[in-house]
Chains A and B, each alone.
Chain A
Amino acid sequence: MREMKSGRLAIPRPEATEDALAAVVALRRAADQLELATIAHAIDSGWSWAQVAQALGVSKQAVHKKYAKRIGKA
């Protein structure tokens, strides 16, 4: 990857675009997995849905709707 003029973000070289896009997909997947694992851990540790929502910067309803069933806490 090469640096943008700002020096803060990297964009792929043209010949590495497919690999860079695959890295974006993998990052999204990893973020999903990390979010699920962390929220499950937080709820198991006694955090409330409201506290989790505040920490994530989202609404309580949104985080509960997305994760309560998935972590068996509906």
Chain B
Amino acid sequence: MTVFGKKGSKRSKMRDIQIMGQVLPAAERLAQEDGLEKPGAEYLLLAALGLDDDSGRAAFRAVGAEPTAYHDAIRSVHAEALGSLGIDASTLDSDIPDVPSTPTGVFKAEPSLHDAFQTVSEKVRSEKSQLYGAYFVETICEAEFGTAVRAVEAMDIDPTLLAAAAREQIEALNA
């Protein structure tokens, strides 16, 4: 997976690499803490919302939403889906063993994460921009289906509006 623009400065490239070095392991750790083997796109966004760069969180706040609520929204999407089948998800969540998450060495993720990551990388490269958390927000919100965007909708957020708010963050940072 390539991340940064060919014409970016060395410092910019190093910063992007550092961000990816934070966000991918964080996505893996967050998924493992939820009892999952591999992170999907929803965990990529969740990890991006934990970056030092505030742009992703700022996009959520700009549409009147609290970014820290996204994790619960992921759980609620799954709980609601299981509920429609008559399964109580809370009984499963309570049994997830509390074990230290251990990086497997080779980063493995669901295809949804790879797709989102690739889209973010292409945007950063084509816009000759630095990598910001808002790129992850915008990209997730452009998806039509999937857990990541359903969780956004579960927060009563219009993904189109959140994507626009993320774009504003990116443009402000690149101005």
Task: Mark B residues whose CB is within 8 Å of A.
Answer: 32, 34-37, 77-79, 81-82, 84-85, 87, 89, 92-93, 95-97, 99-100, 102, 104, 145, 147, 150
Contacts and interface: CB of A to CB of B under 8 A. Distances in A.
Contact of B78 (A26, A36, A40, A70): A26
A30 B89 contact: yes
Given A29-B78, A37-B92, A71 B99 contact: yes
Given A30-B92, A36-B35, A19 B81 contact: yes
Interface string A1-37: 0000000000000000011011101110110111011
Contact of B37 (A19, A32, A72): A32
Secondary structure call for the A interface: helix
Interface of A: 18-19, 21-23, 25-27, 29-30, 32-34, 36-37, 40-41, 66, 69-72
A23 B97 contact: no
B92 A36 contact: no
